[in-house]
Structure 1
Amino acid sequence: MAQAEAQDHGLHGSAAAPAPASVHAEGQQHPIKLYLVVWGWLFVLSAGSYSIDYFGLQGLLRWGLIVTFMMLKAGLIVAVFMHMAWERLALAYAILVPPLLILVFVTIMALESDYTELTRVLSFGMGP
């Protein structure tokens, strides 16, 4: 009895016994309706993204909508098709936080670039 428990817990230097196949198969299956709904949302978001060009939107509105649609589509793909929605929270943070921090730093750099350009123009003049 003690040896069987030890083997179940991976003691005595042997690898833990693999779980039955039915446990893994049941835990990994998702209803097809979920994928169809996500495909539908991806279609709607793509249509919205293409409609930006169709209606000829320009300026910050155009780029704001393009980036919003892009982030929504990427979020759906990562969450459902890459199974991130069912991962542990630590793994999700490890994958999602670095791109968000990069986005924050790029925003800071874009704001800082205007200040840098202004100080160079004031310090060095306009040029020939």
Structure 2
Amino acid sequence: MSGTAHSAVEHGHEHDHGNRLYFLTWLWLLLITVLEVGVVLVHMPRAILVAVLLLMTVLKSGLIVANFMHLRFEKLNMIYIILTPMIFALIMWYGVALDY
């Protein structure tokens, strides 16, 4: 096998693996979304409902950042991207909670 043919075969296998990874990511995102809808339909205390929905949202954002933004090998950047909005949300929640 020539060098170009060999590299094309290797590239094809990498591409197939990438498609499988994207398919599995979309499947997990769909599954988590269905679970979110199911959790909303089950009547539970509001605090637990909000906590479960926030957890699922963090899971979905982690999947998106890791696979679609290609940051799964850059752990520190991935942590910053996920934690920064959470910190801002807590600050905003604290500011609104003082009004009550």
- Could you state the TM-score of these two structures normalised by the residue count of structure 2? 0.63
Higher relative contact order (CA 8 A, sep 6+): 2
Secondary structure of 2:90's match? Answer: helix
Matched residue SS, 1:84: coil
Greater shift after overlay, 31-40 or 65-74? 31-40
1:44 is aligned to 31
Structure 1 residues 39 and 99: CA distance shift in structure 2, 3 A: closer
Q: Cα 1:99–1:41, aligned 2, differ >3 Å: closer, same or farther?
A: closer
Distance 1:55 1:117 in 2: 30
Match in the other structure for 1:58: 45
Could you tell me how far 1:39 is from its partner in structure 2?
1.7
102 and 58 in structure 1: CA distance in 2 versus 1, 3 angstrom threshold: same
The corresponding residue for 1:100 is: 83
Q: In the alignment, what sits opposite 1:34? A: 21
5+ long unaligned stretches in structure 2: 1-6
Please provide the CA RMSD for this pair.
3.0
Percent sequence identity over matched residues?
A: 23
Q: How many angstroms does 1:47 deviate by?
A: 1.0
Among 48, 65, 82, which residue is 1:78 paired with?
65
Corresponding pairs, count? 89
- Once residues 38 and 101 of structure 1 are traced to their aligned partners in structure 2, the CA distance between those partners, rounded to angstroms, is 23
How far apart, CA to CA, are the structure 2 residues paired with 1:43 and 1:98?
Answer: 22
